[in-house]
């Protein structure tokens, strides 16, 4: 594979954080996510051949049927993160309670993750992903369940991986948002999308139009305005819809409706990490009534409405929804 002297993810994170004492070890956490995603990508590619598609027959804490790849990816990332030497605790969509790796000396970081996003698309070979929010534990903090309920604005980094026509890991730090593409043969991620900023143009809106009948009147009006102005693109995998909108411009909206009064998506490991990425790339993320990153979490798996993407369009959509 000719990589043309591109920077590897390892070179990037070591240059970014190696000498920043207050976040020492964050590079090891990102490399643990990268290694886990390399293993997940292999499983995703081989699942049908290895009879690893389909469900486990179990229902998770969300009340959703667990796909075998949901469980496999959860185990892979728990393993790579727990053995990184820098993760004190993990919150995971597929695991009801927090995984306390080592509350005392297990390292300085707390990771909240959606190990496999877009489960309904696994069996039909449509793009899926993994999402990670990373917080730093307070100095001297003994990590317990409540330690995972930090506001999104306290994240030190966030990342997602999209397993699509290529496998791309997007990493947002306090300084920049960068994309890295996996060379599956070598297992190495190379920087392919330096300094990502959401384009000012907004060609697309992403929402599940099938929910429109259950929306309240202001939200119905907000979605109608998007429908009148933009082209609809909806994959049904949040990561894939968000990644397209991040690179090409666009807005994603999963508002509350009559059947989902708190929305469908999860605050801690979908909205917060992607909200962090969006804001670092010049975009915005809102519940429709407040900034996602300001929401005070009450429980690990709580849901939230999510309006995410191009800043101007998010702000105008929110003003219609909230009536401000």
| Residue from 35, 117, 191, 279 binding ligand AHG (CB under 6 A) | 117
Q: Mask: binding to Mn ion, 97-116, rule CB under 5 A, as x and -?
A: -----------------x-x
Say whether 65 sits in a helix, a strand or coil: strand
Query: Interface residues for ligand AHG in 261-280 (CB under 6 A)?
Result: 264
| Residue from 16, 71, 114, 279 binding ligand AHG (CB under 6 A) | 114
Using rule CB under 6 A, residue 238 touches ligand AHG: yes
> Is 80 or 245 the residue whose CB approaches ligand AHG more closely?
245
On whether the CB atoms of residues 268 and 277 are closer than 8 A, the answer is no
On whether the CB atoms of residues 288 and 307 are closer than 8 A, the answer is yes
Q: How far apart, in Å, are the Cα atoms of 117 and each of 106, 107, 126, 238, 316?
A: 27, 26, 11, 7, 28
Binding part of the chain for ligand AHG, among 45-53, 151-159, 231-239, 297-305 by CB under 6 A, reads 231-239
- For residues 284 and 282, what is the distance between their CA atoms, to the nearest angstrom? 7
- Nearest approach in angstroms of CB 2 to Mn ion is 35
- For residues 143 and 177, what is the distance between their CA atoms, to the nearest angstrom? 28
- For residues 75 and 259, what is the distance between their CA atoms, to the nearest angstrom? 31
- Nearest approach in angstroms of CB 6 to Mn ion is 30
Tokens of residue 292, six digits: 């996602």
On whether the CB atoms of residues 52 and 42 are closer than 8 A, the answer is no
> Is 93 or 279 the residue whose CB approaches Mn ion more closely?
93
- Nearest approach in angstroms of CB 161 to ligand AHG is 13
Q: Mask: binding to Mn ion, 117-156, rule CB under 5 A, as x and -?
A: x---------------------------------------
Half-sphere exposure of 222 (CA within 13 A, CB side): 27
> Is 27 or 119 the residue whose CB approaches Mn ion more closely?
119
Binding site for ligand AHG (CB under 6 A): 64, 93, 114, 117-120, 208, 236-238, 264
């Amino acid at each position: 594979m000719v990589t043309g002297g591109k920077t590897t993810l390892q070179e990037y994170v070591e240059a970014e954080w190696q000498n920043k004492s207050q976040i020492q070890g964050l590079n090891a956490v990102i490399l643990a996510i990268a290694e886990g995603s390399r293993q997940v990508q292999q499983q995703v590619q081989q699942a049908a051949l290895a009879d690893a598609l389909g469900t486990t027959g179990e229902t998770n804490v969300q009340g959703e049927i667990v796909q075998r790849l949901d469980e496999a990816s959860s185990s892979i990332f728990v393993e790579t993160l727990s053995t990184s030497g820098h993760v004190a605790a993990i919150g995971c969509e597929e695991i009801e309670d927090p995984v306390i790796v080592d509350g005392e000396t297990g390292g300085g970081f707390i990771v909240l993750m959606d190990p496999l996003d877009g489960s309904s698309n696994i069996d039909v070979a449509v793009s899926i992903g993994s999402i990670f929010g990373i917080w730093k534990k307070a100095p001297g903090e003994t990590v317990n369940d409540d330690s995972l309920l930090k506001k999104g604005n306290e994240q030190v980094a966030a990342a997602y991986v999209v397993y699509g026509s290529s496998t791309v890991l997007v990493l947002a730090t306090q300084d920049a948002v960068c994309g890295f593409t996996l060379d599956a043969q070598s297992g190495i991620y190379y920087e392919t999308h330096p300094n990502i900023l959401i384009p000012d143009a907004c060609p697309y809106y992403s929402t599940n139009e099938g929910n429109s009948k259950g929306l309240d009147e202001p939200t119905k009006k907000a979605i109608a305005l998007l429908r009148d102005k933009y082209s609809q693109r909806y994959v049904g995998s949040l990561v894939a819809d968000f990644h397209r909108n991040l690179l090409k411009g666009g807005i994603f909206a999963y508002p509350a409706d009559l059947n989902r009064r708190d929305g469908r998506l999860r605050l801690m490991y979908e909205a917060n990490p992607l909200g962090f990425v969006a804001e670092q790339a010049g975009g915005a993320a809102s519940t429709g009534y407040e900034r996602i990153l300001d929401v005070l979490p009450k429980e690990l798996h709580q849901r939230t409405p999510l309006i995410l993407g191009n800043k101007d369009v998010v702000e105008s959509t929110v003003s219609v929804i909230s009536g401000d």
